[in-house]
Structure 1
Amino acid sequence: MDKILLEERKKILLEFISSTEYKPMKLKEMAGILQVPRNEKNDFREIVEALVEDGKIEADNSGKYRVSDNNTKTGIFTGTQRGFGFVVIEGEEEDIFIPENGTKGALHNDKVLVSIKGQQTGKRKEGEVLRILERGNTTVVGTFEKSKNYGFVIPDNTKFGKDIFIQKEHTKGAVNGHKVVVKLTKFGDKQKSPEGKVIEILGHINDPGVDIKSVIAAYNLPLEFPEEVLGQVEKTEEEIEKEELKGRKDIRSLPTVTIDGEDAKDLDDAITLSKEGGIYHLGVHIADVSHYVRENTPLDKEALSRGTSVYLVDRVIPMLPHKLSNGICSLNAGSDRLALSCIMDIDEKGNVIGHEIAETVICVNRRMTYTSVKKILEDKDEEEIREYEELVPMFLLMEELAEILREKRRKRGSIDFDFPESKVVLNKEGHPIEIKPYDRNKATKIIEDFMLIANETVAEDYFWQEIPFVYRVHENPDSDRIKELGIFINNFGYSIRITQEDIHPKELQKLLRKIEGTQEEALISRLTLRSMKRARYSAESDGHFGLAAKYYCHFTSPIRRYPDLQIHRIIKENLKGNLSDKRYSHYDKILPDVARQASITERRADDAERDVLKLKKVEYMSDHIGEEFDGVISGITNWGMYVELPNTVEGLVRVTDMEDDFYVYDEEKYSMTGEHTRKSYKLGQKVRVEVADTDKWQKVIDFRLVEE
């Protein structure tokens, strides 16, 4: 049914069910009273089901429909190993706790209708699942175990909570220890396990590379591009044609550089910079990917479906085929390239006093690496300075301007997380041999600063033009999360000021500055980040808490992020004067869905990347069983304490393994105290631990406390 017609009919039906004379009735009775023609009965059912999904109406046990009360909501079920779960409701600050007897057989990621009962004995609201509206998983990845007459699969995702029964004829010849993909044929219920059939064998649990293949399969990450997409890409030229330069600003004469990591192949941003009369002229030039990826083509639809490139430990799963991302769309040195540029005039206080967004043609002079620029600016390396002599003045100017921009952001309260991200080094067999922090130096910060100011400038420009757009938004953190953070940092002697259940980003910024250079810096930085909400994409400009910015978007990476590609299209249409009323309406209609899809695929990529990192960290620690390490308590629950090591590895000390006393968890103080000895463990406390055990597929590291 047409989307607009569906919404109109939903509205009419809801008015009918909400009317005072309406009594709860079944679907057939309702259709009769409303005189729904026989040939429209399926459409009518669709409208009713849509209203149920929206949480506007509900059916009682006898199948009669009534208006939902405010305590009935639709959300996504998150399962646990122990049978209970939580329902995440969009727009709600806290999840709803679902006890084991209230799940109605819901599995992890199912869309459910939930009835909220009110406060649980603890802090969290409690509810029960009324109905499963949509199954979240049709396939599951796990480890096959064979029995005499049947098999079963233990899911890799522990939140799935149940093993999957496989009849003998559906095992596809899998043997013990095979990693498999299972298609679910029955979802089970409270009593029965789900059933399925093996549709793919990924390899044996001990085979190199099978671990990452399992994560790729679990998240349905697309490896191959469809034939029609590759066919379209094949027709793309490898160099730009003269006629493509018409109407473009030609800035090929300006000294231009890219600055990226050594192994980067998709170079989508280049920089020009000069200064005259106290004004910096900064050009951020972004590959004009939308020139090659046209709306509604197979390539565009595939890019939207993928949403983002995914960066796993040993590979990249790109949003666009390599012929584009490493070829004509990559700003390779010595080649003319089409770009979309944001050219800004910035005063010595960091204010953008003028800017131009233009279609340009550029030619990169040198392909620089972060390492080279660091050697020039930080190490004053004479050999490197000689090698890039003609560009050194521009790099010094970059350093100067970046510091000004950073200071301006600092004054307004922007939060700069400067803790080390993990980099896992693998050997040829894919086994981790080292875990170390990514190097974040002056060169990486310069590029970050320039990309940030370009993103803000473009977002503010299009906000005030009142043109449909995709923004990057970051909402204020939940007050409960901030209170937890306050309790945690108090163990280290720090505090944050919270006013009327809210916090200004400046408070978190001050905290991060106080902990700079301390032993606890990485831990507190990471936990501060965890206390904040996840940034997302939106068709509305609701500001960015972390950056303390009123307007923000993603403009600088169209090779690897769809929202950037989408807004490039809008910008170019606007520059050419082609944004008619019809195109305004078109973008108004599609952008909320584009933003939603981009947020979903970004989350999928983040989760997959995190899972692979966890897998490799567990695999790395499995080589260190029996060894002792110093760590810090990073989390406390009633089942144990999480301890983080300096190399960012986190493990669990189970309360059942704390045998010197019976320990009780104090939820208010986030502490664990022995009943007899009164020995207490608190968040942030330093402890020494021994690696007791690891389980790669459950992604678990068990620590044991070492008495000192």
Structure 2
Amino acid sequence: MTVERPLPSKEALRRFIEAAPGKVGKGEISRHFGLTSDQRPALRALLKDVLAEGGAMPAGRRGLAAPGKLPEMAVVEVFGTDPDGDPLARPLGWKAEQGAVPLIYMRPERAGQPALAPGERVLARLKPAGRGRYDGTTVKRIGSTPARLLGIFDDGRIKPVDRRHRAEWEVPAGEAGGAEPGELVLAEPLPGRPMGLRPARIIERLGRMGEPRSVSLLCIHVHGIPHVLPDAALAEATAARAVTPEGREDLRAIPLVTIDGEDARDFDDAVWAESVGDGWRLLIAIADVAHYVRPGSALNREAWLRGNSVYFPDRVVPMLPEALSNGWCSLKPGEDRGCLFAEVTLDAAGTKTGHRFGRGIMRSAARLTYEGFEAGEDPAGARDALLGAYAALQAARDRRGTLDLDLPERQVRLDGAGGVLAVEPRARLAAHRLVEEFMIAANVAAAEELERLGQPCMYRVHDRPSDEKLEGLRTFLATFDIALPPGDRVRPADFARVLERVRGTAEERLVNETLLRGQSQAAYAPDNIGHFGLALPRYAHFTSPIRRYADLLVHRALIRGLRLGPDGLTEEEAGRFPETGEHVTATERRAAAAERDAVERYLAAYMAHRIGDVFPAHISGVTRFGLFVTLEATGAAGIVPLASLPDDRWLQDLPRHALAGQRTGLRFALGQAVEVRLAEAVPRTGGLTFHLMQGVPARPRGARRR
């Protein structure tokens, strides 16, 4: 006689489903708990209750899986790429009530297979790779129809503005939505026909391409950046009022100053210093965003969604409404503002001897600009002490041996109509470095204080280069008789010595660019691995909560740990730190991609009337399908297709980042100075195509040197 075991409890059933590597069926559940066939009806009733309560979710025709867990096979849609260029995907049809969207890292395709592109859908085999993450392998390609497409409407067609999507779309009669030729439009695909152009319906008109602000608007849509704040968040920002001095340390007598760019509209950090004996006392005051943006509020939901502000040449997409970013959280001169502050003490050598944090009320003594400070402006009498403290901090930085790559940053200057006036190198002044060093000091202190308090910390982490990248760097540097320490003993100071050795030589740019490509990307995470580039064992972001959500979390954690108010970090937020770290890292990289994209499109528009001109440039990338070049004057970058090079058999030399011609003996390497002729400029996509003058017998007729 078979003795029936009791049915498992709902909790035991949930734990079993959670622990299973994939979906499970009633058979596996019965075997695991030793149930008989007579108990099947009772098991079905129990499973129905667990499903209704959200303890499990359907998977396939008859399987079950834990909430948020994906089955072993699923249809996924590619939406972007990771820092190494490998596709990222999400499950198709995921519903908001199922929780955070799982992130799927698609493994590289088989040799000879075209890479997966954004918008493409595949049946994938999935393998769990940590909480909310999966490794995916393509089983079958299904299609590549995007959910939305952005393009220029002209002659009944839509020409995509994303250079990854080349095919045009046809707009059937009655589906244009009133759009006029030349307008930038957002459209959705319609059920297609097997032959000819695929049909699409225009659902939103975004203005005429070439009009002021159209480039940034285009980039906002291409990269999916949230830019419209809901009424609830706007109402909360409008209802905000000034802080009162109660419960705050009064800093209004201290002449704190803000130092920002000429065109800055919000001022969220202020600095002050004084000499104390042989050392220095610093104050870094940061706008008290946590006072206005509370956990569970509409403002907080929007800030989390955006992750950070996005900066274009003609506009900013702020993380928070302007009533806060340009109002109550802007440290305007002569106005009382709430702040969180870090007080940092240094010895004469710049080594930190102590710190403390508090919640205060302050009144900025002056709004300074980088250029004005550099020129000697000193309305608050703060300049000498600030420079003295900066010199001490810089000395400490030099002793650490940080990685300081010398790569010029470009800025786009626009006229009143939104046209490009000039593209110039962005000045790197001592005032920039001063503010940067003060902010680093506060960020380090914040990480140390949260560890002392036993509070969660959202670290800013930067890993050492991977073993594979280090080996590539060693091989590359060996061609210049430069060696790196063996194994994993490489430190930022080793790279600093390499940069010093090549400074002023013909190889300086090449080495700088190659070392940059060999570094890991920085990220946000609750688990500390240190910051390799800054040579710091612990580092957080504390200094810009108005434009970075990670900083707001650090403020809340300090408020909770130091008992500075009721608006500190909640347990629920702390429990989501791993997912939030991944999310804000992704939004930061999305913002960086959109900002680069905007500059590229502005540059393409600027260059469009220079077709045929010849420019000095250098090679900034080497691939098997051609070269990437960057112009010296503007920083505009484009491709030299392999087909445009002199007729030869071209071989890629990976260790030396070069292409070598077997018959001609021509060789093109990363960093090499070249002359290029502009062959094509497409402002719609930001694409530039060049032809090399090296190996060409004569300059084409009419080509002008620039």
TM-score (norm 2): 0.81
Contact 1:633 1:644 in 2 (8 A): yes
Cα 1:160–1:629 change in 2 (3 A) is closer
**SS of alignment partner, residue 245 of structure 1:** coil
Aligned partners of 2:346 and 2:352 also within 8 Å: yes
Question: C-alpha distance in 2, partners of 1:266/1:704?
Answer: 44
Gaps of 5+ in 2: 1-10, 32-36, 90-101, 128-134, 696-706
Matches within 5 A, 1:124-523: 128-130=137-139, 138-144=147-153, 146=155, 151=157, 153-160=158-165, 163-164=168-169, 166-174=171-179, 177-184=182-189, 196-237=200-241, 239-240=242-243, 244-376=244-376, 384=377, 388=379, 391=381, 394-486=382-474, 493=480, 495-497=482-484, 499-500=486-487, 503-518=490-505, 521=508
Kindly provide the CA deviation profile for residues 373-416 of structure 1, in whole angstroms up to 9, marking residues without a partner as x.
Answer: 1112xxxxxxx4xx63x61xx42232232222223223223212
Q: Secondary structure at 2:284's aligned position in 1?
A: strand
1:107-128 deviation line (CA, Å, top 9, x unaligned): 4486973589xxxxxxxxx995
3-state SS of 2:247 partner = coil
Residue type at the aligned position of 1:221: I
Q: Which residue of 1 aligns with 2:704?
A: none
What letter is aligned with 2:676? V
CA contact (8 A) 2:288 2:339 kept: yes
Query: Aligned to 1:597, which of 561, 583, 593?
Result: 583
Matches of 2:463 and 2:106, distance apart in 1: 14
The correspondence for 2:58, drawn from 32, 45, 48, is 45
Structure 1 residue 136: deviation in Å? 11
Distance 2:224 2:340 in 1: 33
What amino acid does structure 2 have at the position aligned with 1:422? R
Do the aligned partners of 2:73 and 2:126 also contact (CA within 8 Å) in 1?
no
SS in 1 for 2:375: helix
The equivalent residue for 1:695 is 682
Distance 1:163 1:334, change over 3 A: same
- Point out where structure 1 has 5 or more consecutive residues left out of the alignment: 64-73, 117-125, 377-383
Partner of residue 97, structure 1: 109
**C-alpha displacement of 1:221:** 2.7
1:126-181 per-residue CA deviation (whole Å, 9 max, x = no partner) reads 9951378999963221233546xxx4x34322334655565444332445543221
Which amino acid in structure 2 is aligned with residue 218 of structure 1?
Answer: V
Query: Structure 1 counterpart of 2:593, which letter?
Result: D
Q: 1:201 to 1:355 in 2, by over 3 A?
A: same
1:113 paired residue number: 124
Q: 1:263-287 CA deviation, whole Å, 9 max, x = no partner? A: 2121111112111221211111111
Structure 1 position 630 matched with structure 2 position 616: yes
SS at match of 2:164: helix
Q: Return closer, same or farther for 1:681/1:57 CA change in 2, 3 Å cut-off.
A: same
AA at the equivalent of 2:527: E
Inter-CA distance 587–207: structure 2 relative to 1 (3 Å threshold): closer
**Displacement of 1:556:** 0.3
Once residues 210 and 16 of structure 1 are traced to their aligned partners in structure 2, the CA distance between those partners, rounded to angstroms, is 47
Q: CA RMSD in A?
A: 4.1
Determine if contact 2:249/2:361 at 8 Å carries over to the other structure.
yes
Q: Do the aligned residues in 1 keep the contact of 2:336 with 2:362 (CA within 8 Å)?
A: yes
- What's the offset of the Cα at 1:587? 3.5
Distance 1:481 1:523 in 2: 16
C-alpha deviation, 1:606, in angstroms: 1.0
For the 8 Å contact 1:114–1:131, the answer to whether it is kept is no
Supply the distance in 2 between the matched residues of 1:682 and 1:197 (Cα, whole angstroms): 46
- Summarize the Cα distance change of 1:13–1:21 in structure 2 as closer, same or farther, 3 Å threshold: closer
Tell me the CA shift for residue 674 of structure 1: 2.3
- Residue type of the partner of 1:449? E
CA shift for structure 1 position 620 = 2.0
1:704 matched to 2:691? The reply is: yes
Does the CA contact (< 8 Å) of 2:459 and 2:527 recur in 1? yes
Say if 1:555 and 1:12 are closer, same or farther in 2 by CA, change over 3 A. Answer: closer
The residue identity in structure 1 corresponding to 2:680 is D
Aligned to 2:132: none
Deviation at 1:419, TM superposition (A): 2.5
Contact kept, 8 Å, 2:188 with 2:202, in 1: the verdict is: yes
Superposition deviation, residue 451 in structure 1: 0.1
CA contact (8 A) 1:185 1:196 kept: yes
2:17 is equivalent to residue 10 of structure 1: yes
Q: CA deviation at 1:259?
A: 1.1
Shift in Å at residue 483 of structure 1?
A: 4.1
Structure 1 residues 185-238: Cα deviation after superposition (integer angstroms, max 9, x where no partner): 56999x99876422112234344433322112222333332222222222222x
Conservation of the 8 A alpha-carbon contact between 2:621 and 2:629:
yes
For the residue of structure 1 that corresponds to 2:205, the secondary structure is strand
| Cα distance in 2 between the residues matched to 1:577 and 1:483 | 49
Q: For 1:472 and 1:548, how far apart are their aligned partners in 2?
A: 12
How far residue 46 of structure 1 moved from its aligned partner, in angstroms, is 5.1
- 1:533 lines up with 2:520 in the alignment: yes
Q: 1:422-470, CA deviations, whole angstroms, 9 ceiling, x for partnerless residues?
A: 1011222322231111111111100000000100111122123321221
CA displacement 1:623-677 (0-9 Å, x = unmatched): 3322222222222112111122223222222221123534333445432222322
Contact 2:185–2:207 (CA<8 Å) still a contact in 1? yes
Does the Cα contact within 8 Å between 2:450 and 2:557 map onto a contact in 1?
Answer: no
- Cα distance per residue 1:554-578 (max 9 Å; x no partner): 1001111111112212211222277
Distance change in 2, residues 1:131/1:340 (3 Å) = farther
Partner of 1:68: none
Give the aligned partner of residue 131 of structure 2: none
**Residues 18-49 of structure 1: CA deviation (Å, up to 9, x unaligned):** 9998999xxxx9x9799434846685415958
1:577/1:10 CA distance change after superposition, 3 Å: farther
Q: Distance in 2 between matches of 1:131 and 1:663?
A: 34
What are the within-5 Å matches in structure 2 for residues 37-76 of structure 1?
A: 37=45, 39=48, 43-45=56-58, 57-58=72-73
Write out per-residue CA displacement over residues 231-264 of structure 1, whole angstroms, 9 at most, x where no aligned residue: 2222222x44xxx212221122222211111221
The one-letter code matched in structure 1 to 2:222 is A
Q: TM-score scaled by structure 1?
A: 0.81
> 1:67 maps to what in 2?
none
With 697-706 and 166-175 compared, the bigger mean Cα shift is at 166-175
Aligned residue-pair number = 650
CA distance in 2, matches of 1:676, 1:331: 65
Distance 1:532 1:651 in 2: 23
Contact 1:644–1:651 (8 Å) recurs in 2: yes
Q: 1:583 to 1:359 in 2, by over 3 A?
A: closer
Conserved? CA contact 1:98–1:129, under 8 Å: no
CA contact (8 A) 2:475 2:655 kept: no
Over 3 Å counting, the alpha-carbon distance change for 1:7 and 1:414 in structure 2 is: farther
Q: Distance in 2 between matches of 1:108 and 1:250?
A: 54
Instruction: State the alpha-carbon separation in 2 of the partners of residues 587 and 564 from structure 1.
Output: 14
Change (3 A) 1:424 1:21: closer
Question: 1:653–1:703: 8 Å Cα contact kept in structure 2?
Answer: yes
